Amino acid sequence: MAHAQDRYYVPTGSHWPIVGSIGLLFLMVGVSTWLNGHDVGFWIMMAGFATIIFMVTGWFGTVIGESRRGLYNAQVDTSFRMGMFWFIFSEVMFFAAFFGALFYARNMAVPWLGGDSNNFFTNLLLWTGYESTWPTNGPDNVGGDFKSMGPLGLPLINTAILLTSSVTLTIAHHALIAGHRNVLKVFLALTFLLGFVFIYLQGVEYIHAYQDLNLTLGSGIYGSTFFMLTGFHGLHVTLGAIMLVVIWLRVMKGHFTAEDHFAFEAVAWYWHFVDVVWVALYVFVYWM
């Protein structure tokens, strides 16, 4: 099979992309119709979602199969690596938009509503008596009085969990390189279990926020930034944990060698990325 590696592997054609596009069409049209108040939209959305799951499974299955058959040479491997790197960079920029909104609101919009800079009359005439503060739900007390989520308790435990999961993942990676398959299996399993515990505790925290603190998505700019940042992060942790499970199942089937385990590394990069985002979240959303 060595000759297959001489040149760059270009697949002859694939039906997965068009299946994905059809899935996206149903998903987007479904969500939009649903948001416009038509219940049928929900089912269109679910059909689209199912199509996309089908596409992702099939597409990745094809790629894994090709990889196992040795069709990918070192140059193809590099393409995948670079592709994953730039994908993660695009995710960083997506989070940057929401962090940017947080910084802008805290350092500019809210102080200006309180009369800072040249906004004396804004405060005097439009929002009389509003004093800028953080956390805030704005001069109109949007969503009613609420308590903010402090840095101690669950968020601190979650930080410890996610940081630990990065360590266990690194141990698993070293075990893979050293050929210690059992250590690899155990620590990889530990990693995604920690991930699922994190998601569970995040759920507990959200219930606590809604029931005890009256902190909701509708709690002004604080609630908006808090739930959108932690929510999108939680979504990424969920995705990352599912990816870890897939990698773990592949490890159990005997996939990956010390030299050839791009998929493992890609998922590891992704996991460290959600970890770093969490640290930024913990500092800027919970703590400061």
Partner 1 sequence: MVSTPADLHDKHDEHEHHGPAKGIGRWLFTTNHKDIGTMYLIFSLVMFFIGGAMALVIRSELAQPGLQFVHPEFFNSMTTMHALIMVFGAVMPAFVGLANWMIPMQIGAPDMALPRMNNWSFWILPVAFGILLSTLFMPGGAPASGWTMYPPLVLQTGDAFPFLIFSVHLMGISSIMGAINIIVTIINMRTPEMTLIRMPMFVWTWLITAYLLIAVMPVLAGAVTMLLTDQFFGTSFFLAAGGGDPVMFQHIFWFFGHPEVYIMILPAFGVVSEIIPTFSRKPLFGHDSMVYAAASIAFLSFIVWAHHMFTVGMPLSGQMFFMFATMLIAVPTGVKVFNWVGTMWRGAMTFETPMLFSLAFVFLFTIGGFSGLMLAIAPADIQYHDSYFVVAHFHYVLVPGSIFALMAAAYYWLPKWTGHMYNEKIGKLHFWTSTIFVNLTFFPMHFLGLAGMPRRIPDYSTQFADFNYIASIGAFGFGLSQLIFVYVLLTVKKGEKATDAVWDNPKGLEWTVPSPAPYHTFDEPVHVDRTVAFPQNNP
Nearer to partner 1, 135 or 195 (CB): 135
Burial, 89: exposed, middle or buried (Cβ in 10 Å; 0-12, 13-18, 19+)? exposed
Nearer to partner 1, 21 or 257 (CB): 21
| Per CB under 8 A, 31 contacts partner 1 | yes
The two tokens of residue 171 are 């141990």
Positive or negative torsion for Cα 207, 243, 34, 138:
positive
Vertex 176 angle, CA 174 and 180, to 5°: 95
DSSP 8-state assignment for residue 5:
G
Smallest distance from the beta carbon of 55 to partner 1, in angstroms? 9
Return the residue of 44, 51, 72, 98 that touches partner 1, per CB under 8 A.
98
Looking up tokens 């159990």, which residue turns up? 252
Smallest distance from the beta carbon of 8 to partner 1, in angstroms? 5
| Per CB under 8 A, 281 contacts partner 1 | no
Smallest distance from the beta carbon of 137 to partner 1, in angstroms? 6
Q: Using CB under 8 A, which residues numbered 228 to 247 contact partner 1?
A: 228
Looking up tokens 């990698």, which residue turns up? 247
The two tokens of residue 226 are 């808090």
Q: Using CB under 8 A, which residues numbered 202 to 221 contact partner 1?
A: 216-218, 220-221
| Per CB under 8 A, 36 contacts partner 1 | yes
Instruction: Please choose, from the candidates 195, 183, 171, 178, the residue with its C-alpha nearest in 3D space to the C-alpha of residue 246.
Output: 195
Instruction: Please choose, from the candidates 246, 249, 288, 253, the residue with its C-alpha nearest in 3D space to the C-alpha of residue 271.
Output: 246
| Per CB under 8 A, 113 contacts partner 1 | yes
Q: Using CB under 8 A, which residues numbered 38 to 57 contact partner 1?
A: none
Looking up tokens 């929900």, which residue turns up? 42
Distance of alpha carbon 77 from alpha carbon 251, whole angstroms: 19
Smallest distance from the beta carbon of 105 to partner 1, in angstroms? 6
Nearer to partner 1, 171 or 281 (CB): 281
Q: Using CB under 8 A, which residues numbered 58 to 97 contact partner 1?
A: 59, 61-62, 65, 68-69, 75, 78-80, 82-83, 86-87, 89-91, 93-97
Q: Pick the piece of the chain touching partner 1 (CB under 8 A) from 24-32, 186-194, 237-245, 263-271.
A: 24-32
Q: Using CB under 8 A, which residues numbered 246 to 265 contact partner 1?
A: none
| Per CB under 8 A, 123 contacts partner 1 | no
Distance of alpha carbon 75 from alpha carbon 227, whole angstroms: 41
DSSP 8-state assignment for residue 2:
G
Nearer to partner 1, 52 or 162 (CB): 52
Distance of alpha carbon 194 from alpha carbon 166, whole angstroms: 10
Q: Pick the piece of the chain touching partner 1 (CB under 8 A) from 18-26, 172-180, 249-257, 258-266.
A: 18-26
